[in-house]
Amino acid sequence: MSVVDLTLVIGNKNYSSWSLRAGLAVALTGVAHEEILVPLDQEKTKLTLLQHAPSGLVPVLKSEGMVIWDSLAIGEYLAERFPDAGLWPRDRKLRALARCLVAEMHAGFAALRRELSMDMRKSHKVMPSLEALRDIGRLQDLWGQAIDARQAAGLAGAFLFGAPGLVDCYFAPVVSRLVTYGVELGPDGSAYMATITDWPLYRAWLEAAKAEPWDLPNHGRP
């Protein structure tokens, strides 16, 4: 495995959806990196994070003398630096669609985030509000659009665009939320959720989350 100057600063693996996105993206590159975990909601959390990035938030990627403090910017940087990792689809049209999906996930789905906060160790059934249900319906629409485009392009594989990429890194946390709160989807949505939960990179993160000692019942980070 290659060794490069990558340091990823993350929050609790159990609670930080943004950290999961960046962690999966770095893992997809296949390169060795340093990982610094800053426990969230602690007395010195903000001060510690400000020592890594001006945002005071996670994730943060340090590389080539730069500090990259946004998960989407981290993904784009990794895609450019490691083109052989296939973080974006090679086909231009599919790549544009994948970017649309990632951007919408990055900025939207407020009700789903608010009501179904990430807690990978938790498991209980809830009834989402109508607003959150609309978000869930939109998720399924996006996944269906990607699946249709993938099939039309003749790409094999169970991930949204065949092989795992940034778009799957971005939807992995919301899959975790749906699993945690027992949200049932249609056949295509359920199949894609199974693809993510069976993904070895996701499972490795989940096992690490289960082993964490911190319990943050009032944690509200989306």
Token look-up 């970017």 returns 99
pLDDT for the residue numbered 217: 74
Q: Helix, strand, or coil here: 195?
A: helix
By the 10 Å C-beta count (0-12 exposed, 13-18 middle, 19+ buried), 192 is classed as: buried
What's the pLDDT tens digit per position in 150-206? 999 999 999 999 999 999 999 999 999 999 999 999 999 999 999 999 999 999 999
Q: Helix, strand, or coil here: 19?
A: helix
**CA angle 151-157-161, nearest 5°?**
60
- Phi, psi angle pair for 130, to nearest 5°: -60, -35
The pTM of the whole model exceeds 0.85 = yes
Task: Kindly tell me if the per-residue pLDDT of 221 is higher than 50.
Answer: no
What's the pLDDT tens digit per position in 113-127? 999 999 999 998 999
Q: Helix, strand, or coil here: 140?
A: helix
Locate 39 and state its tokens.
Answer: 């426990």
Total residues found in the chain within this entry: 222
66-93: average pLDDT: 97
Distance CA 51, CA 48 (A): 5
